[in-house]
A and B are shown apart, each in its own frame.
Chain A
């Protein structure tokens, strides 16, 4: 370790200016597309050891692509992913393998993420076998312990995925991610495909495992209520950029960005009185296409607070993600106080 790194311990994971572009549309003779889609456009955030960090946004905002770039399923177009202060984009093959033992992933689809032709046992033994950890018999015992840790009867080790329900499969996927005893688990919408009565079980399990094993999570979700249960820090993404990042308590009680405000107010509450009492902000229109994003602030065509900003700034000038004090950042031309003003007349399109 360099003496420099010893003084200030780097964050477990730091993403700096991550950009990911995809080719879209008609391809030319050489299989290249002329149009580029910027799925992730300069995303920067950091996750500390043992912390869980939520990345929230609507479909197409680039949250899943960010996750896939971190675990190496996509190659970043630009920017850096630093793990323990070391840039993973420059890793050699052996370094990648070592990295994989420390960063794992849980997937969204409990049906598609388990190989239908493997038994639960071989699914859980595979990570250990890939990394040559322990002897075959000890691997099997570890698989049993993993099943127990995720709340499944260890004796089901010889069964096949299709014999389990969605929630149970998701537990198997979690056990697989735990097998290598990682420091960080990237969770890509792990509960959104589950039944309502099973979601809470899996959320509680993830929390419990975090405490037991000192895990850090990068939690990708579209559901703000789920993220609130699990994450200490939350970043909100819109069209490939982070628009706000704050500790949970601040983000949910006092959102700084109009988009976060709208997102929060759009979450339906299972309480008719509160539903009736609150002023819902209904945004205009749909999320624009990332192929042709709006000028300036990409949220301005839907923003209900844009007339609070003087002149044409929202349309012409892109706000940077700047500090708003209190350990929080937001990308908006409004100051915290201006944005916090309750929206007078919520915009209605209907």
Chain B
């Protein structure tokens, strides 16, 4: 059994324009210790779905429904808010894009870290401080003792993100959600944080869900990748398979359209025409159909389900895509 099993997760937001189906019935698993990339553009539902798993979607305007969300054997949909909060601090953790807004601006690093330790490990005083310093050292902060008494604004963006990670790791979570953890950072600092996350995951044996819009970020950091578009999971595969033989036309087009350091720069990028759809006015068909080059009549009438497209895939879970006309595995 997987560490996290999400079945038919839906998140709807009621706005004045109508109901936004931010996440539209997605199911996925996260195995213990694995690293999963959740990729999508803004509005694809990648962040909202992880917030929904953690019970952090504000209601109203949000409404989360799911057949089940099983984490480590217990169904999160049936937990009391209190029990969920305890779980969130201990075994499930999350870090966000902007570490400045996630840290309390008026408390020192040590005050914030020891508060967490007091809540989850019952540690106080010198003992808590020592553990906090060790936690900072663990995420590669030089001279952790001296950084303990700094306020968040005295730290650089990269340092703040390290403090956030240290705080998330204090309770030794089994699963860490990282929502665009490097988007606000510079390229050289992004490289540091990604290395750190990979290293920590291996040392602590925790599972990582890395949520990002950047395909490059998941390529080097994750074991599996799930691609989301307009609230739906359109493709799920082992990282290598997804990048080598994308089966969903959206994934394939996205991979080709991203500017990289490889290839002839004078050839125009094969871009995806059009804009991501408006989630309030989604019809019955595949949400990608209006921009898709392989579109057939059926695509506009019914939405394809996420189904296995190749059984020969190494690994247990195979390669799945939600498409009536998936690309052939040789097409890359």
Contact = CB atoms under 8 A, between A and B. Distances in A.
Contacts, number: 149
Contacts of A312: none
Interface string A331-344: 00000000000000
A283 B188 contact: yes
A168 B219 contact: no
B201 to A, nearest CB: 12
Contact of B269 (A229, A274, A285): A229
Interface stretch (A14-22, A176-184, A260-268): A260-268
Nearest to B193: A350
A254 to B, nearest CB: 13
Interface in A193-236: 195-201, 203-204, 207-208, 222-226, 228-229
Contacts of B270: 200
B140 A271 contact: no
A267 B254 CA distance: 17
Interface string A98-131: 0000000000000000000000000000000000
B272 A197 contact: yes
Secondary structure class of chain B's binding surface, majority of residues: helix
A263 B260 contact: no
A1 interface: no
A276 B219 CA distance: 9
Given A225-B259, A268-B220, A58 B192 contact: no
A322 interface: no
A313 B203 CA distance: 39
B196 to A, nearest CB: 5
B268 to A, nearest CB: 5
A37 interface: no
A293 B175 CA distance: 40
B243 A286 contact: no
Given A195-B41, A204-B271, A267-B187, A283 B192 contact: yes
Contacts of A270: 215-216, 219, 243, 255, 258, 260
A266 B41 contact: no
A204 to B, nearest CB: 5
B276 A197 contact: yes
Interface stretch (B11-19, B92-100, B156-164): B156-164
B188 A197 contact: no
Contact of A195 (B42, B157, B189, B190): B42
Indicate the size class of the contact surface on chain B: 35 or more
B42 to A, nearest CB: 6
Interface in B254-274: 254-255, 257-262, 265, 268-273
A275 interface: yes
A153 to B, nearest CB: 13
A269 B195 contact: no
A52 to B, nearest CB: 11
A15 to B, nearest CB: 24
Interface string B144-176: 000000000000111100000000000000000
A225 B265 CA distance: 9
B70 interface: no
B273 A268 contact: no
A258 to B, nearest CB: 12
Nearest to A225: B259
9 contacts: A196-B214, A197-B253, A252-B261, A266-B191, A267-B261, A270-B216, A271-B262, A280-B191, A286-B156
Interface of A: 58-59, 165, 167-168, 195-201, 203-204, 207-208, 222-226, 228-229, 248, 252, 262-276, 280, 282-283, 285-287, 302, 348-350
Given A200-B258, A223-B187, A224-B261, 19 more contacts: A196-B41, A198-B275, A207-B268, A229-B269, A266-B190, A267-B261, A269-B216, A270-B243, A270-B260, A271-B260, A271-B262, A272-B220, A272-B239, A276-B220, A286-B186, A348-B195, A349-B140, A349-B142, A350-B196
